[in-house]
């Protein structure tokens, strides 16, 4: 069996890393097994794309999806195509994930947002939080027309060290449109090394700051009648790199708690 009983939390098992973590063990979860599937590491080839699409066919986009390391962040693009009406996408990531494809147009972990913007008619806007300004400068101008951007430098500039978000950052999140459902994708590589251990280069946001961002978004949507279309989380570390996963386990647990407590999902 690839899947267990359908529920709101889906764990995508590409590497086995989640077996070392505890955050999900008191939850009702569904597992999607993909360890033996070739053509998935960093790039997703056409055959793997169709298999993965089939593996998640019975699950709604409107749940919470844990999708392994950042090598598989392209799974967000596959989840997004399940949304059948217009939506916005909020991404927390240390990278733009809007790089042009390097190998024959293959879907990649570094270009999945670009793919979504180019191919998914229902995606109306991307709100991107975390990459540095130099990386964003490399993004195609056509793509930028559909992106609101909050850079790593801006976050650092406004960061006060006090509890809660600075007013300017809070204002950015309160300007997220509420007329369309919002899908949220979180790569833990936006976090500092104290709060996450990931495969890719990391940012300097604290877990508390990320949680405050999410809480602000959820409160804004609740107050204005907005809804969440779905959430996914990646950023585990590759098992071969020898990480215990304890720091990521804590981050996953706390992020899951914030989402369960604050998000109002579309029915």
Strand partners, 1: none
Of residues 237 and 127, the one with the higher pLDDT is 127
Residue range 70-85: mean pLDDT, rounded: 97
Asked if residues 14 and 72 have their Cβ atoms less than 8 Å apart, the reply is yes
pLDDT surpasses 60 at 3: no
CATH class of this structure's domain 9-262: alpha beta
CA distance 209 to 93: 14
Q: What is the pLDDT of residues 146-164, one digit of tens each?
A: 999 999 999 999 987 666 7
Q: What is the pLDDT of residue 133?
A: 97
CA distance 209 to 85: 31
Q: What is the pLDDT of residue 126?
A: 98
pLDDT surpasses 80 at 5: no
Q: What is the pLDDT of residues 32-69, one digit of tens each?
A: 999 999 999 999 999 999 999 999 999 999 999 999 99
Q: What is the pLDDT of residue 113?
A: 98
* In the chain, where the domains are located: 9-262
Lateral strand order in the sheet of 29-33: 29-33, 9-13, 64-66, 228-234, 182-187, 87-92, 123-129, 147-150
Residue range 20-27: mean pLDDT, rounded: 95
pLDDT surpasses 50 at 201: yes
Write down the mean pLDDT value for the chain. 92
Q: What is the pLDDT of residues 88-138, one digit of tens each?
A: 999 999 999 999 877 777 899 999 999 999 999 999 999 999 999 999 999
């Amino acid at each position: 069996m690839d899947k267990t009983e359908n529920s709101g939390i889906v764990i995508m098992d590409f590497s086995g890393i989640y077996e070392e973590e505890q955050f999900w063990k008191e939850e009702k979860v569904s597992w999607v097994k993909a360890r033996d599937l070739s053509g998935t590491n960093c790039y997703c080839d056409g055959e793997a794309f169709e298999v993965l699409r089939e593996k998640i066919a019975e699950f709604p986009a409107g749940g919470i999806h844990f999708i392994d390391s950042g090598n598989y962040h392209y799974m967000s693009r596959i989840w997004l195509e399940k949304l059948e009406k217009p939506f916005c996408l909020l991404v927390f990531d240390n990278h733009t994930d809007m790089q042009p494809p390097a190998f024959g147009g293959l879907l990649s972990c570094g270009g999945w947002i670009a793919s979504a913007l180019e191919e998914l008619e229902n995606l109306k806007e991307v709100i991107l939080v975390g990459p540095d300004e130099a990386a964003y400068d490399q993004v195609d101008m056509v793509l930028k027309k559909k992106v609101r951007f909050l850079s790593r430098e801006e976050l650092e500039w406004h960061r006060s060290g006090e509890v809660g978000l600075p007013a300017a950052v809070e204002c950015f999140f309160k300007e997220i449109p509420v007329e369309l459902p919002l899908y949220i994708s979180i790569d833990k590589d936006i976090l500092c090394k104290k709060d996450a251990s990931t495969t890719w280069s990391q940012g300097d946001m604290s877990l508390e700051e990320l949680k405050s961002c999410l809480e602000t978004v959820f409160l804004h949507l609740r107050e204005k009648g907005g809804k969440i279309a779905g959430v996914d989380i990646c950023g585990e570390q590759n098992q071969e790199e020898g990480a215990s996963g304890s720091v990521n386990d804590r981050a996953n647990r706390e992020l899951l708690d914030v989402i369960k407590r604050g998000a109002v999902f579309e029915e």
